[in-house]
């Protein structure tokens, strides 16, 4: 099994990213051959400042290494360091029907939120297909809202194989049913688009101030409260063990505890959870050469596979 995951460097990673994508990607290192890329070409659809993109790409690399990505078990690389992907994207694009792209939810959703309707945004699924097919990925972990991208990849790969012969391995989406939607401070799904995130490596007063902004109902301190209807408790459950969850839930139902107390519990628990990762990140920041070496080594491993895939594709279409 070869697993592929990718993440855009389009802002500070938050706990929705961690539980929705980062932690599952780290766990998958134990289950098969893992490839993980920083999708900096994809990020160009929304990030139009070179210095900012470079900084965010570096931050993503630091975050993943600090959180547990093992470069011995995972090929961890920048998308821009594997140029074969972009030639492959063109070979796929000439067979991709306009109607298929017009039906993609991602383009509609992002333009509805005000993102400019560029060709890059419209053709985003083709580049994603190239990311997947270039490394012969057999499994692509995605949320339900991203399953369509893998379906598009399978459609385009099938069209190519039918036209030119069996070149591409057919990937399968892996839907993580157990991953809950992580609520943001306003109760909506945590997302950079909604400006409602809590950063993974926030700490001290800025982190506590952010947590104190989490939306709750208007019940008084002495009132009994329902933990299952509380955004604070939903976040707390992600970090605390079962015994701690039961204890805090009982305090909710008994009354006499305000939401400020619950938010303080969340703050302290989150600080403890990320403390070892935060310390690793600080060490990695002082060793930029190590981080760069990891990304280059990962790109080399990905390129070795992609060169073979692209070579077969070029041969098939008549370019070799």
As annotated, the active-site residues are: 110, 189, 192
Which candidate, 52, 126, 51, places its Cα nearest to that of 94? 126
Query: Distance (Å, rounded) from C-alpha 78 to C-alpha 7?
Result: 10
Q: Is 152 exposed, middle or buried (0-12, 13-18, 19+ CB in 10 A)?
A: buried
Exposure on the CB side of residue 147, measured as CA atoms within 13 A: 9
Per the listing, tokens 């080399």 go with 300
Distances (CA, A) of 265 to 210, 212, 260: 14, 11, 9
Distances (CA, A) of 12 to 198, 266, 292: 9, 20, 19
Strand partners, 38: 7, 78
Q: Which long-range contacts (CB under 8 A, 24 or more apart) does 90-99 make?
A: 91/160, 91/313, 91/314, 91/317, 92/126, 92/129, 92/130, 92/133, 92/156, 92/157, 92/160, 93/123, 93/126, 95/156, 95/159, 95/160, 95/163, 96/126, 96/129, 96/156, 96/159
Positions of E strands within 123-264: 139-142, 172-175
């Amino acid at each position: 099994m070869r697993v592929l995951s990718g993440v855009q460097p389009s802002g500070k990673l938050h706990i929705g990213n961690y539980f929705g994508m980062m932690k599952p990607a780290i766990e998958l290192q134990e289950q098969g051959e893992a490839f993980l890329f920083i999708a900096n070409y994809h990020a160009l659809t929304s990030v139009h400042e070179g210095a900012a993109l470079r900084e965010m790409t570096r931050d993503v690399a630091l975050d993943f290494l600090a959180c547990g990505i093992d470069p011995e078990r995972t090929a961890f690389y920048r998308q821009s360091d594997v140029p074969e992907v972009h030639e492959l994207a063109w070979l796929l694009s000439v067979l991709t029907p306009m109607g298929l792209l017009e039906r993609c939810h991602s383009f509609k959703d992002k333009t509805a939120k005000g993102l400019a309707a560029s060709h890059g945004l419209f053709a985003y699924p083709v580049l994603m297909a190239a990311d997947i097919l270039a490394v012969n990925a057999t499994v692509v972990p995605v949320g339900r809202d991203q399953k369509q991208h893998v379906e598009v990849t399978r459609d385009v790969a099938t069209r190519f194989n039918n036209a030119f012969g069996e070149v591409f391995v057919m990937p399968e989406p892996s839907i993580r049913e157990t991953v809950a939607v992580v609520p943001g401070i306003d109760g909506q799904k945590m997302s950079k688009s909604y400006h409602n995130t809590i950063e993974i490596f926030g700490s001290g007063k800025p982190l506590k101030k952010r947590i104190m902004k989490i939306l709750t109902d208007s019940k008084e301190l002495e009132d009994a409260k329902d933990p299952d209807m509380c955004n604070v408790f939903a976040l707390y459950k992600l970090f605390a063990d079962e015994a701690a969850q039961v204890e805090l839930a009982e305090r909710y139902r008994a009354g006499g505890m305000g939401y400020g107390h619950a938010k303080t519990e969340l703050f302290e628990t989150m600080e403890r959870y990320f403390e070892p990762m935060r310390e690793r990140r600080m060490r990695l920041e002082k060793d930029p050469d190590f981080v760069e070496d990891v990304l280059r080594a990962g790109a080399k491993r990905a390129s070795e596979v992609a060169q073979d895939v692209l070579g077969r594709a070029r041969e098939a279409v008549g370019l070799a």
